[in-house]
Structure 1
Amino acid sequence: MITKLGKRAFAILVSTSFLGLAACSSAPEQEDIERVPNKSAQALYEDAKSTLDSGLYARSIELLSALNSRYPFGPHAQQVQMDLVFAFYKTGNTDQALATIDRFIRLNPNHKNLDYMYFMRGLVNIQADKNAFQEYFGIDRADRDASRTRVAFQDLSTLVDSYPESPYVPEAKKRLVWLLNKMARYEIKVAEYYFEREAFLAAANRGKYVVEHFSQSSYLITALEIMEKSYAKLGLDELSKHAQQTRLLNEQQRQMN
């Protein structure tokens, strides 16, 4: 069994490790770029691509950044930007990844690979919403602000709606289902918080929001239950009965499916 002191030491060790990763994943300084050998654009890109393919993401960022700085209008300029996004994503540098994606979309509104950039923007925002410590220690933070989740949902929805033939659409649709459930779960957590504190109208409204906006999620019945109980507490018997009937109908439909 791990003692309290052991847990504390372990937490510090993990914290130090994550801080080290964050430092390694930051954008390269000018001196790092200057240390990159002075090669032609083609040769430098081949080095960067080989490094990226080998999974040496921090080094690939240095090479790609040098290439981007030295040959901003070179033959690989746009591909360099896309490769940088992937490398930033793999190192957990979400701020740099999002900045690079937004700049690319702004400067290349008709580029053939915009579907990839919207896909990556969705993945990066999902990554930005995660908390490594909480996930590592199994802490449930469904009550955390879901703004990043909503942005990720919008990014992937844009991909699916605007580029239906994109090869990234199947994976995007899977992620959208997960994001939809995550947003619904957040609302349910807030509704339960209100109900426990006897703010029954607020709880009912949160449940209603899930029904109206996340009816395809796995939390629809839970939302209806909250509405049913909250309206009953408020003495709104007709609304409570209606919520109950809707819940029972949905439960029957799910059993049939």
Structure 2
Amino acid sequence: MKAVFKVIALLLLSAIVAGCAGEQEKPESSERELYETAQGYIKSKNFSLAVQNLQLLESRFPFGPYAEQAQLEIIYAHYRSGDNEAAVAAADRFIRLHPRHESVDYAYYMRGLANYTQGEGLLDRFLTTDTTSRDPGAATESFDDFRQLLQRFPNSAYADDARARMIHLRNRLARYEINVANYYFKRKAYLAAANRGRYVVENMPQTKAVPDALAVMVQAYLLLGMKDLAEQPLMVLRQNFPDHPSLDKNGNFVSQVGLDGERSIINKATLGLIDRYEPPRFDNRNQE
């Protein structure tokens, strides 16, 4: 009987060992398998799963041959998924870790691209929206990103696209300044409006907003009673943009508001209910 019990015990032990062996985890995916899986997700536009696999690859094989490429592709996957903040953070990390990498120019470019589209919503894809009225913070950062790319890597494959985007960004930032000037006119802060116009003329002279900036300066100085300061921007406006709507056929400036207190007798008599004051507003993009 003892011999029988021993045989049964050995059989049970063998069964337990075999069961444990069957329940062991499968071997972890190799670095190449993780990378190829991530590539498949990118091709199918499943960018969230692509990010997960690329991050897993980097954590398991931080010094492997695919690690640095995975860091670059994480930037792209974040950007394509619409997570611009994560894309910027990933680009910053790559630049910090690999400042001399042969593809670091791509990180600069993608950082600029992520900031370029920062703040865009779903409606922007289907409707024409005025981006010049938005906070210029991301646009300014994008411009600086592209500027760094061109300074460090003037022959980069991304240089031409970066230059084109910088032109658009500069025009966008200049138009933002005009929008702010129009707001200052509404608040009757004429000196602040004049300063915005002067900033565009002095710092963004090649932008399409310059004609409006000159008109802003002329209008603001006239409202401030500073006719001598209005003469120079008026002269430049006449010589360079004679067809601007603020000029009549003789080149005289057409003020958008009266200069004698801004309120007519009727307006004062009706306590502002009739003949209301309309602040100057300069936005002649249809002429650009």
Q: d(CA) in 2 for partners of 1:152 and 1:176?
A: 8
Contact 1:92 1:127 in 2 (8 A): no
2:151 to 151, 161, 164: 161
Aligned pairs for 1:16-31 (under 5 A) are none
Q: d(CA) in 2 for partners of 1:51 and 1:230?
A: 57
Amino acid in structure 1 at the alignment position of 2:153: Y
Superposed CA deviations along residues 160-215 of structure 1, whole A, max 9, x for unmatched, are 12111001011111100110011011110000111122211010000001111111
Q: d(CA) in 2 for partners of 1:201 and 1:186?
A: 17
Shift of the alpha carbon at 1:245? 0.8
Q: d(CA) in 2 for partners of 1:138 and 1:51?
A: 31
Shift of the alpha carbon at 1:93? 1.0
Higher helix share: 1
Q: What is the DSSP-based 3-state SS (H/G/I as helix, E as strand, rest coil) of the residue aligned with 2:228?
A: helix
TM normalised by structure 2 equals 0.71
Q: Which structure has the larger Rg over C-alpha atoms? A: 2
Contact 2:191 2:220 in 1 (8 A): yes
Q: 1:208 and 2:198 equivalent?
A: yes
Q: 1:43 and 2:33 equivalent?
A: yes
Q: d(CA) in 2 for partners of 1:79 and 1:117?
A: 11
Superposed CA deviations along residues 211-255 of structure 1, whole A, max 9, x for unmatched, are 11111111000100000111111111121111111112222699x
| Aligned position for 2:133 | 143
Shift of the alpha carbon at 1:134? 6.2
| Aligned position for 2:108 | 118
Amino acid in structure 1 at the alignment position of 2:214: L
With over 3 angstroms needed to count, the CA separation of the structure-2 counterparts of 1:202 and 1:135, relative to structure 1, is farther
| Aligned position for 2:233 | 243
TM normalised by structure 1 equals 0.79
Shift of the alpha carbon at 1:97? 1.1
Q: d(CA) in 2 for partners of 1:247 and 1:158?
A: 34
What's the RMSD between the two structures over aligned residues?
A: 2.0
Contact 2:131 2:172 in 1 (8 A): no
Q: Size of the alignment, in residue pairs?
A: 218
| Aligned position for 2:98 | 108
Q: d(CA) in 2 for partners of 1:243 and 1:192?
A: 17
Q: 1:177 and 2:167 equivalent?
A: yes
Q: What is the DSSP-based 3-state SS (H/G/I as helix, E as strand, rest coil) of the residue aligned with 1:128?
A: coil
Superposed CA deviations along residues 76-106 of structure 1, whole A, max 9, x for unmatched, are 1110011010000000112221111111111
For structure 2, the 5+ residue unaligned runs are 1-26, 245-288
What is the identity percentage for the equivalent residue pairs of Structure 1 and Structure 2?
Answer: 39
Amino acid in structure 2 at the alignment position of 1:191: A
| Aligned position for 2:12 | none
Q: d(CA) in 1 for partners of 2:69 and 2:242?
A: 52
| Aligned position for 1:199 | 189
1:60 to 29, 32, 50: 50
Q: d(CA) in 1 for partners of 2:243 and 2:69?
A: 49
Q: d(CA) in 2 for partners of 1:175 and 1:207?
A: 23
For structure 1, the 5+ residue unaligned runs are 1-36
Q: What is the DSSP-based 3-state SS (H/G/I as helix, E as strand, rest coil) of the residue aligned with 1:73?
A: coil
Aligned pairs for 1:56-95 (under 5 A) are 56-95=46-85
Contact 1:48 1:64 in 2 (8 A): yes
With over 3 angstroms needed to count, the CA separation of the structure-2 counterparts of 1:131 and 1:248, relative to structure 1, is farther
Q: Which moved more, 1:214-223 or 1:244-253?
A: 244-253
Q: Which has the higher contact order (CA 8 A, sep 6+)?
A: 1
